Amino acid sequence: MDSQIWTYVIVGVTFVLYIIIAGLSKAGSTKEFYVAGGGVHPIANGMATAADWMSAASFLSMAGLISFMGYGGSQYLLGWTGGYVLLALMLAPYLRKFGKFTVPDFIGERYYSKNARLVALICALFVSFTYVVGQMKGVGVAFARFLDVSFESGVLIGIGIVFIYAVLGGMKGITNTQIAQYCVIIFAFTVPAVFISLQMTGNPIPQLGFGGKTADGTYLLEKLNQLSVDLGFDEYTKVDKGNTVNMFFITAALMFGTAGLPHVIVRFFTVPRVKDARISAGWALLFIALLYTTAPTVAVFARTNLINTLSEREYVDVPQWFTNWENTGLLAFDDKNNDGKIQYLADAEKNELIS
Residue among 319, 320, 91, 287 nearest 189 (CA):
287
**At 47, is the pLDDT very low, low, confident or very high (cuts 50, 70, 90)?**
very high
Give the distance, in angstroms, between the CA of residue 225 and the centroid of all CA atoms in the same chain.
Answer: 26
Distance of alpha carbon 334 from alpha carbon 322, whole angstroms: 13
Identity of residue 97 = K
Helices (H) and strands (E) in the chain, counts: 17, 3
pLDDT > 60? residue 339:
no
Least confident of 122-131, 185-194, 290-299: 122-131
What are the Cα distances from residue 249, in Å, to 252, 280, 292?
Answer: 5, 29, 21
Give the distance, in angstroms, between the CA of residue 284 and the centroid of all CA atoms in the same chain.
Answer: 15
Which pLDDT does position 355 carry in this prediction? 38
Mean pLDDT of all residues in 195-214:
89
Mean pLDDT of all residues in 237-245:
78
Are 226 and 307 contacting, i.e. CB atoms less than 8 angstroms apart?
no
Mean pLDDT of all residues in 228-232:
82
Share of the chain above pLDDT 90, in %: 6
For residue 332, the 8-state DSSP code is E
What radius of gyration, in Å, describes the C-alpha atoms of the chain?
A: 22
Residue among 310, 248, 268, 332 nearest 106 (CA):
268
Are 271 and 277 contacting, i.e. CB atoms less than 8 angstroms apart?
yes
Q: For residue 116, with 0-12 CB atoms within 10 Å meaning exposed, 13-18 middle and 19 or more buried, which class applies?
A: middle
| Model confidence, pTM | 0.78
Distance of alpha carbon 350 from alpha carbon 355, whole angstroms: 14
- The mean of the pLDDT values for the chain is 81
Are 101 and 266 contacting, i.e. CB atoms less than 8 angstroms apart?
yes
What does the domain layout of the chain look like in residue ranges?
Answer: 3-310, 312-355
Reduced to 3 states, what is the DSSP secondary structure of residue 219?
strand
Which pLDDT does position 236 carry in this prediction? 86
**At 346, is the pLDDT very low, low, confident or very high (cuts 50, 70, 90)?**
very low
Which pLDDT does position 118 carry in this prediction? 92
- Among 45-49, 98-102, 264-268, which range has the highest average pLDDT? 45-49
Reduced to 3 states, what is the DSSP secondary structure of residue 91?
coil
